Amino acid sequence: MQRSTELFDRAKKVIPGGVNSPVRSFRSVGGSPFFTEKAEGAKLYTADGQELIDFVCTWGPAIHGHNCRPVHDAVAQALDKGTSFGTPNPYEVELAEMVCDWVPSVEMVRMVNSGTEATMSAVRLARGFTGRTKLIKFAGCYHGHVDSLLVKAGSGALTLGNPDSAGIPADLARHTIVLPYNDTQALDAAFAEHGEDLAAVIVESYPANCGLILPDEGYLPHLRALCDRYQSVLILDEVMTGFRLAKGGVQEIEGVTPDLCAMGKVIGGGLPVGAFGGKREIMEQLAPLGPVYQAGTLSGNPLAMAAGIAQLQLLAERDPYAELDQMGARLASVLRTAAEEKGIPLQVPQRGSMFSLFFAEDRVRNYEDATSSRTDYFNQVFRYALDHGVYLPPSAFETCFLCTAHTPDLIDRASDVLTAAIKAL
């Protein structure tokens, strides 16, 4: 860790906390982060010469593994033609056509530079379209660091939100209603009280930012029906799940079509891309056609678009979803068996290439359940795994990701390490 420690010491002097995104700081698992020198396939190579089997996959984007050749080559080709034009370019059209083709709800799409920008813009658009102000979001769902969405539940019976970060005006936060996930009664009550003022409900397609939480049977259709009844915009945040769990995202899997959806991560092939799209009637409210302003100097950037096109084309060619799901199911079952043999309760929710570890007795259905799981166990497993060449996300409340570069051999090796890590608890 010597070189990483040196770099981190330098970083802390010039970058707050030494990181450009807080979860990278290892605060929740303890210790200090390693620096990555390069990444290839399913492996990270650290600045200290360690080789790690990576289950973070750059927090989702690297579905074909790191430094995937076709994506790499597409970016290199685009690079030869210039890095940014400030005019429309052909790549934008091609990627937009693919997204409209693949994602059920998307009739028109706009490219942005991050998932945060995508959800922020979708919320503004929903408010502009409906002429209403209030939003519903769910405890434990993360939608990027958008002011209106960095909001937590108010105390007691109050459903009106409180700021979940310093710097967010309470006056703004109170327009956001925060509900427990998977609770249809709370949803019905909030709609009954605020339905006429509700611009939008935003929900992670599968909540995956406090570990992976799956919707109860019928929950998403119920939400869709309520939004229809009250003419509120349903925004599905597929930043993490889009193109990762199916070509058309969770909306394709669950058969629930939102009015708008936010995308990011996989869509950019590891370059900074986000996107939001949906019904034509709503999207046409955006500038320059309509009154809702939204813009971006680097939006639709040719390098980023080239990476996205190559990434999606590869998904179309390989159709890796069934294979990734089998891999995920296998790993989840190894983890469950290890915990059972050790006599420690462990929940491993898994869908396709996403899974997480909750040290808890019962299925985790919401934020409450997630946060009452044993994070000390997770942290010990994390540390043991890292010491033995396996990198899990550095927080109990993140999701693990698989990619097509996780070969059976790597999965076997990781299974052995994770089994030993659980046995060592």
Ligand X SMILES: *Cc1c(COP(=O)(O)O)cnc(C)c1O
Does 195 interact with ligand X (rule: CB under 6 A)? no
Active site residues: 142, 237, 265
Q: How far is the CB of 9 from ligand X (least distance, A)?
A: 26
Query: C-alpha distances in angstroms, 371 versus 49, 137, 213?
Result: 35, 18, 12
Q: Select the span of 110-118, 242-250, 296-304, 335-343 touching ligand X (CB under 6 A).
A: 110-118
Q: Which long-range contacts (CB under 8 A, 24 or more apart) does 185-190 make?
A: 186/159, 187/136, 187/222, 187/223, 187/226, 188/226, 190/136, 190/159
Pick one of 89, 209, 301, 353: the residue that binds ligand X (CB under 6 A).
209
Pick one of 89, 119, 395, 404: the residue that binds ligand X (CB under 6 A).
119
Pick the closer one to ligand X by CB: 24 or 413: 24
Provide the β-strand partners of residue 40: 43
Does 120 interact with ligand X (rule: CB under 6 A)? no
Reading the block at residue 72, the tokens are 């790499």
Pick one of 54, 92, 204, 252: the residue that binds ligand X (CB under 6 A).
204
**CA–CA gap between residue 371 and residue 364 (Å, rounded):** 9
Q: Select the span of 91-99, 115-123, 124-132, 346-354 touching ligand X (CB under 6 A).
A: 115-123
Pick one of 54, 92, 237, 259: the residue that binds ligand X (CB under 6 A).
237
Does 350 interact with ligand X (rule: CB under 6 A)? no
Pick the closer one to ligand X by CB: 41 or 268: 268
Residues 142-171, interacting with ligand X (CB under 6 A): 142-144
Pick one of 240, 263, 271, 402: the residue that binds ligand X (CB under 6 A).
240
Reading the block at residue 407, the tokens are 């070969």
Strand pairing report for 274-278 and 260-263 = antiparallel
**CA–CA gap between residue 421 and residue 188 (Å, rounded):** 43
Pick the closer one to ligand X by CB: 113 or 159: 113
- Contact partners, residue 314, CB within 8 Å, separation at least 6: 64, 68, 70, 71
**CA–CA gap between residue 236 and residue 118 (Å, rounded):** 11
Count of residues binding ligand X (CB under 6 A)?
A: 14
Pick the closer one to ligand X by CB: 237 or 259: 237
Contact criterion met (CB below 8 Å) for 23 and 15: no
Q: Select the span of 103-111, 113-121, 276-284, 367-375 touching ligand X (CB under 6 A).
A: 113-121
Pick the closer one to ligand X by CB: 144 or 211: 144
255 burial level (CB within 10 Å; 0-12, 13-18, 19+): exposed
Pick one of 4, 89, 114, 232: the residue that binds ligand X (CB under 6 A).
114
Cα-trace Rg, the chain: 21
Contact criterion met (CB below 8 Å) for 402 and 55: yes
Q: Select the span of 77-85, 111-119, 191-199, 288-296 touching ligand X (CB under 6 A).
A: 111-119
Pick the closer one to ligand X by CB: 114 or 353: 114
Please report, as ranges, the residues that interact with ligand X according to CB under 6 A. 114-116, 119, 142-144, 204, 209, 237, 239-240, 264, 274
